[in-house]
Amino acid sequence: MSADRSAGRRTDQVRSVLTHLARFTGRTLRAEWRAVVVDPVRRLARRGLSGLLLAFVAAFGVIFFHDLAQRPTGALWVRRLGGVTADLPLWLSLLRTPVSLYVPALDLPVWAGITQLFLAFALAELGLGRTRTLVTAYATTLAGTLTARLMIAIGPGWWGFGLPPECGKVLDTGPSAAVVGLFTYLAVVRRAPVVFTLTGGSMVWESIAVPNLAGREHLIAVGVAVVLGLLHGRRERVRAVVRSMLPIRGNVAPAPAEAAPLLAPACAGRPGNAARDVSATFLEH
């Protein structure tokens, strides 16, 4: 009988744990669906197609540069305008990086990339605003580009962090780093674990299955987006921390301005001279 009772208690405990887990999963998925899909759709219904300006610009930009790259002369100009490699001078890489957001990789299916790009920019623009969307997309792309230059400058070794000089001629990731960064940033800000797992997990799997420069830049984009997402809404706290780390100056309170007339004149040699001057003035009058 005691064995049956203990087995029944264990069964009840397992059922209770599974029930709580199912409820937690349901609440999480429902909240994520509302935050990532329902809220942006409602804002789109209020704002209309003008709320998708960045998404349309990004999609049409990728289509334009992809079509232009199908011709030899056009491919040359696309590479000159938006082709970023680590062996370029830094100023030229920084100048081409904004254009590289619209230059797709020619060895990948362009329409699948355009769909992901449009969806990432659309959700970010509706949920975060245009300014924050542009800043996040550019920051994650630039971080991947600069980190790639650092890896190549270090050279092979360094526990697998460095890269050989031959990687300096490989083209940058293009819009894919921005897409990864936007999805990751949205997942952190909106507390969407499913989107975060799909985005970050796919990048980790890519870097393991196909170890290349693009996979590393995607991981850097994920890391930068996570940091930016954690700092979201904490501007005042970050400022307070920065101010506390700065050297403290001018904290000594100055003497009140009204206290100056109460002091003795500068010409008085001893404290008693002030009383003599007052009595002499009274006798003269």
The answer to whether position 265 is within a domain reads no
Does any domain span residue 116? yes
Query: E strands along the chain, which residues?
Result: none
Residue 271: pLDDT over 70: no
C-beta separation of 200 from 184 below 8 A: yes
**Residue 200 located in a structural domain:** yes
* Amino acid in the structure at residue 188: V
pLDDT (tens digit, 9 = 90+) per residue, 21-52? 888 778 878 888 888 888 888 999 988 888 89
| H or E stretch at 55 | helix 53-68
The torsion defined by the Cα of 20, 26, 32 and 38, in degrees rounded to 10, comes to: -150
Q: Name the residue range of residue 70's domain.
A: 49-232
Q: Is residue 39 part of a domain?
A: no
Q: Say what the pLDDT of residue 262 is.
A: 41
CATH number for the domain that contains residue 185: 1.20.1540.10
Residue 10 belongs to some domain of the structure: no
Assess whether pLDDT exceeds 50 at residue 278: no
Residue 285 is assigned to a structural domain of this protein: no
Q: What is the mean pLDDT of the chain?
A: 78
HSE, side-chain direction, 13 A CA sphere, residue 24: 7
pLDDT of residue 285: 41
Among 67-81, 118-132, 177-191, 208-222, the least confident range: 208-222
Q: Which residue has the tokens 């300096």?
A: 168
- Nearest-Å Rg of the Cα atoms of the chain is 32
Task: In whole angstroms, give the CA distance from residue 73 to residue 69.
Answer: 8
Task: Please state the domain count of the chain.
Answer: 1
Spatial CA neighbour of 124 closest among 230, 235, 225, 227: 225
pLDDT of the residue at 3: 62
Question: Is 135 within a domain?
Answer: yes
Burial class (CB in 10 A: 0-12, 13-18, 19+), 135: middle
Percent of the chain with pLDDT over 90: 22
Q: How far apart are CA 208 and CA 227, in angstroms?
A: 23
Tell me the pLDDT tens digit for each residue of 164-205. 888 888 887 788 889 999 999 999 998 888 888 888 888 888
Is residue 188 domain-resident? Answer: yes
pLDDT at residue 243, as a whole number = 62
